[in-house]
Amino acid sequence: MKVSLFITCLADVFYSNVGKHTVELLEKLGCEVDFPEQQTCCGQPAYNSGYHKETKEVAKHMIRTFEDSDYVVGPSGSCVAMLREYGHLFENEPAWKEKAEKLASKSFELTQFIVEVLKVENVNASLPACATYHKSCHMTRLLGVKDAPGKLLDHVEGLEVKPLPNSQDCCGFGGTFSVKMVPISEQMVDEKVQHVEETGADILIGADCGCLMNIGGRINRKGKPIKVMHIAEVLNSEVK
Amino acid sequence: MAMKIGEDKFFERVDKGVQNTFMRNAVVSAQERMQGKRLAAVEELGNWEEWRKLGEEIRTHTLENIDYYLEQLSENVTKRGGHVFFASTKEEANEYISKVAKEKRAKKVVKSKSMVTEEINLNAALEKAGCEVIETDLGEYILQLDDHDPPSHIVVPALHKNKEQIRDTFKEKRGYDKSEIPEELALFAREQLRQEFLSADLGITGCNFAVAESGSISLVTNEGNAGLVTALPKTQITVMGMERIVPTWEELDILVSLLCRSSVGQKLTSYITGLTGPKDEGDVDGPEEFHLVIVDNGRSNILGTEFQSALNCIRCAACVNVCPVYRHIGGHSYGSIYAGPIGAVLTPLLGGYEDYKELPYASSLCAACTDACPVKIPLHELLIKHRRKIVEDEKKSPFAEKLAMKGYQLAASSPSLYKAGTKSASTVMAPFTQSNSIQKGPGPMKPWTDVRDFPAPNKERFRDWYKKREKGEE
């Protein structure tokens, strides 16, 4: 199966490891991967801030970039959900709308792709550790990926996943919300960190670099001994 | 109290909210209790998504034909001997109601809970007209006694208060001398209110839904106070937002089921009252005269716009009860009697961006509200629509942000610019980086690093690694 990587700007610049593990994992699962290097960012920061004219230009660029791909797979539910939003931007431009919808129909978040398209639940990973999993809002609610991460994590050998209290609550990232509404965002991320601590887990796993940057950033600031891992790293772990 | 509450600026209100530990504890426990009850009630009903779809269809159909249904409602109320008044503004509504009160020489007015009368500041108008106004919903009664503290929740107006605070208010204002046990507090309020019901000249209610086919109004309560407000005084005035209408009793049945389950997690509330006009000859109770005041106050401006679905709201507060932002700042921080996600959508529409331009941004767009809404209002999408409007139509966004977004657009739609920018990121950030993270970021990064560390950009981006790997260098 041919898969085009949509690595996302955050993973490209700040979390290149997440990209590397995504590549290795997909290859392990028999995919032929390519990285269309013209890709940039999905446009979400501008879209959610209300700058839709600017977002359109970014969306057109991304649509062109992935025009010839069979599948587009990214390690972030939020960014993939944004690719699926593009259609709304082109309500009055039927040609672009059609292209946007075509991109939407072939775009998947990493765990969603593995479970729903590749039909694999056990990726033969092993990680002897105690962890908890943060559900990202956009991935769960907008993209509708609810079960895939849990199914995959359940098969990781040696990994114990503790339920996270109030797992339905947002971590307070929300893109520009985290810098525009600092006093509110701070309370939200604090409560999230507190719930993570309550589980007693050593590792916090997530499927979206944005949320992990927020929760991890607060964990670091408070000096808590909790490691933050992206699910791609976990699923590509092999402890012999 | 009008829709706007207080004169503090948004961030001052937020700071007060965040620092109010009493209120926050009350909100957290109420949210968790109500979320749990809602989920159980929804599961018990089964096919919840089908019900929501039906709810949305009913609301959309009604709003798309609102002229027809308002006319039908008005005709039927009149036919049953009631009076109908269409108020375009809050002033018109208050003037009409005050005029009726004066004509009836009303001295004492009992009211059941109504958000629209809060919105139009009716109590102040009635007091000006020489009436004493008594709120009879327990929550509203507490707030009224506590120097007219504004409501902080659409359904549970006194949610921000704990029982000790209520006990102290009763003690100070009404000479209460018992404990803070809820049953004792409620019994005291009931005794106080009973006398008021018996001696009131005028009863005022809100309206959960008006039924167009019969000219009836329906009220959904748990305390029975609305029943007394509509049974005892000789004159009754019901005030409704113009969108609170259903075509027939059949749709009422569906919407009331959605309302009760979403709001308080009950199949039905203790009292669901349907009233049609003044009392007939031979009826033992009910008003001799009935007035229905239908309030526009900015609603018709929302019809036909990208925000129309906000008028689908049935005021259940399910969105408020799941909102993580409301959870941490409480209702008063919204500066409006309409708090939470629906408040953040509706308040700027009714009250303008001048006073409320921050509200659309006071959301992480987590979409918990959209998921919870029983009539499928896409609340988080409406917040993005507000932001687009503020930026593109109203041109109210900060200059620095505009510049940054233009820069972002250029970089993100030009691969060469993007690559050059990201390549230099780690060098540019190097002076601010310590042990792989940034603790004191420059410029726009400052607000982030005020509370969190920021990751340092990788020296080798993913794309650099990938290129090397393709060449067989990794």
Q: What is the CATH number of the domain that holds A227?
A: 3.40.50
B207 is an annotated ligand-binding site residue: no
* Average pLDDT, integer, range B425-452: 90
Same domain, B93 and B220: yes
Determine the length of chain A.
240
Interface of B with A in 374-413 (CB under 8 A): 384, 386-392, 397, 401, 405-406, 408-409, 411-413
- Determine contact: A33 vs chain B, CB below 8 A: no
Among all chains, which residue has been given the structure tokens 């559900």? A135
Same domain, A88 and A137: no
How far apart CA B462 and CA A7 sit, in angstroms, is 8
How far apart CA B56 and CA B308 sit, in angstroms, is 12
Q: Which of A147, A77, A152, A67 is nearest to A108 (CA)?
A: A77
Instruction: Residue B292: give the domain boundaries.
Output: 10-301
pLDDT for B177 equals 96
B313 is an annotated ligand-binding site residue: yes
Q: Which residue of B has its CA nearest to A166?
A: B32
| Min Cα separation A175/chain B (Å) | 7
Q: Which residue of A has its CA nearest to B330?
A: A184
* Residues from chain B contacting residue A3 (CB–CB below 8 Å): none
B474 in a domain, yes or no? no
Report how many Cβ contacts below 8 Å link chain A to chain B: 196
CA–CA distances in Å: residue B97 to residues B32, B92, B100, B286, B327: 39, 9, 5, 19, 36
Same domain, A221 and A155: yes
How far apart CA B285 and CA B241 sit, in angstroms, is 26
B260 is an annotated ligand-binding site residue: no
B103 in a domain, yes or no? yes
B312-364 pLDDT, tens digit per residue, is: 999 999 999 999 999 999 999 999 999 999 999 999 999 999 999 999 999 99
Hey, what are A112's tokens?
């969603």
Q: Characterise B335 by phi-psi region: left (phi > 0), alpha (psi -120 to 50), beta (else).
A: left
* Residues from chain B contacting residue A176 (CB–CB below 8 Å): 361
Task: Examine the fold and report which residue of B285, B301, B317 is the final residue of a domain before the chain moves on.
Answer: B301
Q: Which of B200, B234, B221 is nearest to B274 (CA)?
A: B221
Same domain, A214 and A135: yes
Number of domains in chain A: 2
Side-chain half-sphere exposure of B155, counting CA atoms within 13 A = 27
Same domain, A159 and A62: no
Residue type present at position B382: L
Q: Which of B196, B214, B52, B191 is nearest to B135 (CA)?
A: B196
Hey, what are B438's tokens?
């940034």
Write a three-state SS string for A77-142: HHHHHHHHHHHHHCCCCHHHHHHHHHHHHHEEEHHHHHHHHCCCCCCCCEEEEEEEEECCHHHHHH
B131 is an annotated ligand-binding site residue: no
Same domain, A133 and A45: no
pLDDT for B361 equals 98
B471 in a domain, yes or no? no
Q: Which residue of B has its CA nearest to A55?
A: B409
Q: Which residue of B has its CA nearest to A61?
A: B413
How far apart CA B269 and CA B65 sit, in angstroms, is 29
Task: Examine the fold and report which residue of A69, A94, A116 is the final residue of a domain before the chain moves on.
Answer: A116
pLDDT for A69 equals 98
Is the Cβ–Cβ distance between B137 and B245 less than 8 Å? no
Same domain, B295 and B406: no
* Residues from chain B contacting residue A167 (CB–CB below 8 Å): none
B371 in a domain, yes or no? no
Beta bridge partner(s), residue A206 = A134, A230
Interface of A with B in 2-21 (CB under 8 A): 7, 9, 11-16, 19-20
Is the Cβ–Cβ distance between B307 and B319 less than 8 Å? no
Task: Examine the fold and report which residue of A93, A116, A139 is the final residue of a domain before the chain moves on.
Answer: A116
Q: Which of B276, B208, B198, B263 is nearest to B232 (CA)?
A: B198
* Residues from chain A contacting residue B425 (CB–CB below 8 Å): 13
Q: Which residue of A has its CA nearest to B364?
A: A174
B146 in a domain, yes or no? yes
Residue type present at position B63: L
**pLDDT for residue B434 is more than 90:** no
- Determine contact: B318 vs chain A, CB below 8 A: no
**pLDDT for residue B443 is more than 90:** no
pLDDT band of B376, cuts 50, 70, 90: very high
B317 in a domain, yes or no? no
B245-302 pLDDT, tens digit per residue, is: 999 999 999 999 999 999 999 999 999 999 999 999 899 999 999 999 999 999 999 9
| Min Cα separation A47/chain B (Å) | 8
- Determine contact: B364 vs chain A, CB below 8 A: yes
* Residues from chain A contacting residue B409 (CB–CB below 8 Å): 46, 51, 54-55, 57-58
pLDDT for A240 equals 62
| Min Cα separation B115/chain A (Å) | 26
A240 in a domain, yes or no? no
In tens digits, chain A (240 residues) has pLDDT values of 999 999 999 999 999 999 999 999 999 999 999 999 999 999 999 999 999 999 999 999 999 999 999 999 999 999 999 999 999 999 999 999 999 999 999 999 999 999 999 999 999 999 999 999 999 999 999 999 999 999 999 999 999 999 999 999 999 999 999 999 999 999 999 999 999 999 999 999 999 999 999 999 999 999 999 999 999 999 999 976
B146-164 pLDDT, tens digit per residue, is: 999 999 999 999 999 999 9
Q: Which of B115, B145, B136 is nearest to B232 (CA)?
A: B136
- Determine contact: A240 vs chain B, CB below 8 A: no
| Min Cα separation B400/chain A (Å) | 13
Output the DSSP codes for B204-219. EE--SEEETTTTEEEE
How far apart CA A11 and CA A14 sit, in angstroms, is 5
How far apart CA B372 and CA B52 sit, in angstroms, is 10
Same domain, B67 and B199: yes
**pLDDT for residue B60 is more than 60:** yes
How far apart CA B277 and CA B292 sit, in angstroms, is 9
Number of domains in chain B: 2
B36 in a domain, yes or no? yes
pLDDT for B1 equals 55
* Residues from chain A contacting residue B389 (CB–CB below 8 Å): 50
Same domain, A33 and A102: yes
* Average pLDDT, integer, range B76-87: 98
Please name the member of B361, B415, B425 whose beta carbon is closest to the beta carbon of A181. B361
Q: What is the percent of chain B with per-residue pLDDT over 70, rounded to a whole number? A: 100
Same domain, A10 and A110: yes
CATH of the domain at B193: 3.40.50.10420
Residue type present at position B55: G
B323 is an annotated ligand-binding site residue: yes
Hey, what are A240's tokens?
């012999």
pLDDT for B122 equals 98
Q: List CB contacts of A164: < 8 A, sequence separation 6 or more.
A: A132, A133, A134, A135, A195, A196, A199
Helix/strand/coil percentages in chain A, nearest 5: 50, 15, 30
- Determine contact: B434 vs chain A, CB below 8 A: no
* Residues from chain B contacting residue A13 (CB–CB below 8 Å): 422, 425, 457-458, 461-462
Instruction: Residue A87: give the domain boundaries.
Output: 2-116
**pLDDT for residue B372 is more than 70:** yes
For the purposes of burial, counting CB atoms within 10 Å of the CB of B147, is it exposed (0-12), middle (13-18) or buried (19 or more)? exposed
Q: Which residue of A has its CA nearest to B361?
A: A177
For the purposes of burial, counting CB atoms within 10 Å of the CB of B262, is it exposed (0-12), middle (13-18) or buried (19 or more)? buried
How far apart CA B392 and CA A65 sit, in angstroms, is 27
Same domain, A13 and A68: yes
Task: Examine the fold and report which residue of B268, B301, B334 is the final residue of a domain before the chain moves on.
Answer: B301
Tell me how far apart the terminal alpha carbons of chain A are, to the nearest angstrom: 28
B346 in a domain, yes or no? no
pLDDT band of B472, cuts 50, 70, 90: confident
Same domain, A138 and A228: yes
Same domain, A7 and A22: yes
- Determine contact: A194 vs chain B, CB below 8 A: no
- Contact criterion met (CB < 8 Å) for B391 and A186: no
Q: Which of B70, B90, B9, B85 is nearest to B350 (CA)?
A: B90
Determine the length of chain B.
474
* Residues from chain A contacting residue B439 (CB–CB below 8 Å): 221
Is the Cβ–Cβ distance between B351 and B3 less than 8 Å? yes
Same domain, A84 and A148: no
Task: Examine the fold and report which residue of B301, B332, B350 is the final residue of a domain before the chain moves on.
Answer: B301
Side-chain half-sphere exposure of A6, counting CA atoms within 13 A = 31
Beta bridge partner(s), residue B271 = B221
Task: Examine the fold and report which residue of A116, A135, A161 is the final residue of a domain before the chain moves on.
Answer: A116
Please name the member of A11, A47, A183 whose beta carbon is closest to the beta carbon of B14. A183
Is the Cβ–Cβ distance between B136 and B229 less than 8 Å? yes
* Average pLDDT, integer, range B372-385: 98
Task: Please state the φ and ψ torsions of residue B440, each to the nearest 5 degrees.
Answer: -130, 90
| Min Cα separation A161/chain B (Å) | 23
According to DSSP, the β-strands at B235-241 and B289-295 are parallel
